[in-house]
Structure formats: C-alpha cells, structure tokens
Amino acid sequence: MNLYERYVLPRLIDLAMRTKATQAERARAIPLAAGTVLEVGIGSGLNLPFYGSAVERHYGVDPRRELWTLARKRIERAPCPVEFIQASAERIPMGDGSIDTVVMTWTLCSIPDVGRALLEMKRVLKPGGQLIVIEHGLAPDPRIVTWQERLNPA
C-alpha cells in the first residue's frame, strides 16, 4: 500500500462522506437498526452517532485499519459497545444467524466480490433479520426493507 492509499485516501473518503445529503440519509436509515448489529464497511465510523438505544452490540467490519483510526472519537461517543473486525465482506468471521441487523452504507462499490459479500451477510443474519442499505444511485423502489421482505416479497 502506498502513502496515498494509507494516509491521504482515508481522509478524503471521510471528508467526502460527511455532506448534508449523506448525513440526512444516515439520519433516516441508521436509527432503524436494532439488537446485535454488523456494519459492513464501517470505515471511519460516520454512522455511529446515528445508532439508537435499540442497538445492544455493534460489530464493524472493514479491511482497512487506516479508516478505523479516524473513527476513534466517534467510537468513544457511540451509544453502544463497538468492536472492530479487520476482515473483508466476502469472509465475515461470525457465526450463522448471529446478527439481528446488517448495515451497509456506500460500500458495495469497494467490495471486489459483491455476490459473495451479500451471501455472507445473508448467512450471518438471523431469520427475520434486517438489512439496511444506502448505496449510490437510484433504485426503482427506494424504500428501506428488511432482508426477509426481499426474500419473501408480498
């Protein structure tokens, strides 16, 4: 990893993702998380201030420790315990059905094998668990839905 990737890029990502628009999306979606939460691509912890009291435990997965270093102050002020797991989304080191809510915000574009990552998220979600996703681009139905709704549409 070169100097740019190690020191400059993490700060640029953190800065770029702190806009009013991204904050508004976080404020709308992140408070829906509950129980044991897995945040895929926790990065610099920009979602942490938006979690509510319904979150009992928070695990943040990210392969880049450089972004995690930027999250220290946000972790100290988080409303629940936060544990960083340095891993990729394609290989989440957690048990089957161990997570109530998976959160992923603006992350898919940085995951090399999106299909595998989505299967991993499905694997760790409890039956009836929810997947909260905010991504780049527009969806035909921009609702926040649970994973269960996607598996069993009405």
Question: What distance lies between CA 80 and its chain's CA centroid?
Answer: 15
Which pLDDT does position 150 carry in this prediction?
A: 45
- pLDDT value of position 3: 87
Q: What is the pLDDT of residue 15?
A: 87
Taking Cα atoms as reference points, which of 22, 45, 12 lies closest to residue 134? Answer: 22
- Count other C-beta atoms under 10 Å from residue 5's C-beta: 11
CA–chain centroid gap for 130, Å, is: 12
Q: Which of 96, 138, 142 is nearest to 121 (CA)?
A: 96
Residues of the chain under the 70 pLDDT cut:
137-154
Which sequence spans correspond to the domains of the chain?
Answer: 3-151
**Looking at residue 139, what is its pLDDT?**
55
Looking at residue 137, its pLDDT comes to 63
DSSP 145: -
pLDDT at 2: 86
CATH class of 3-151: alpha beta
First to last CA, the chain: 47
